[in-house]
């Protein structure tokens, strides 16, 4: 038994541009992109929809190699606007868009325990 050099690389998982240390992994360089895509897809299925868009990214250093987006839940603000002026509808949608942007600035995403387990389970399969 001896030590041999290998080509390992660290994959960081970012949620809304914030690294989650518990999800960081080491893997072989040739399979890094595929591994990051699988983890991002798994997390997309586990994270519940928020009031704002949630970006899940896999990165090697500062280079993003995989990305998934959890779409936001939106209220139908046009339900009370029957027919009429298009500019009013556009104004309401723009106002909603601005509010979602503000929420994203202050919003933190809670990762459920099942998300960590899903990533670990997938790691055992591959």
Residue 45 sits in a domain of what CATH number?
3.30.70.2570
Split into its structural domains, the chain has a count of: 1
**Residue 84: domain span:** 8-119
Which tokens hold the place of 92?
Answer: 């309401």
> 3-state DSSP call for residue 100?
helix
For residue 65, being part of any structural domain is answered with yes
Angle, in degrees to the nearest 10, between helices 32-46 and 113-125? 150
* Total-model pTM: 0.74
In a domain, 126, yes or no: no
> What is the per-residue pLDDT for 8?
93
Q: Give 115 or 71, the one with higher predicted confidence.
A: 71
User: What is the number of H-type helices and E-type strands within the chain?
Assistant: 3, 5
Question: Between vectors from CA 34 to CA 4 and to CA 62, what angle results, nearest 5°?
Answer: 80
3-state secondary structure at position 120: helix
Task: Express each pLDDT in 49-70 by its tens digit.
Answer: 888 888 999 999 899 999 999 8
């Amino acid at each position: 038994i001896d030590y041999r050099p290998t080509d390992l690389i660290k994959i960081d998982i970012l949620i809304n541009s914030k690294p989650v240390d518990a999800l960081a992994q080491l893997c072989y360089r040739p399979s890094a992109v595929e591994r990051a895509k699988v983890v991002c897809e798994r997390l997309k299925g586990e994270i519940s929809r928020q009031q704002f868009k949630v970006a899940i990214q896999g990165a090697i250093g500062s280079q993003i190699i995989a990305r998934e987006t959890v779409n936001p839940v939106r209220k139908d603000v046009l339900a009370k606007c029957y027919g009429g002026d298009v500019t009013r509808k556009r104004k309401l949608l723009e106002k909603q868009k601005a509010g979602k942007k503000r929420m994203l600035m202050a919003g933190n995403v809670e990762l459920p325990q099942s998300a960590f387990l899903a990533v670990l389970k997938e790691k055992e399969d591959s």
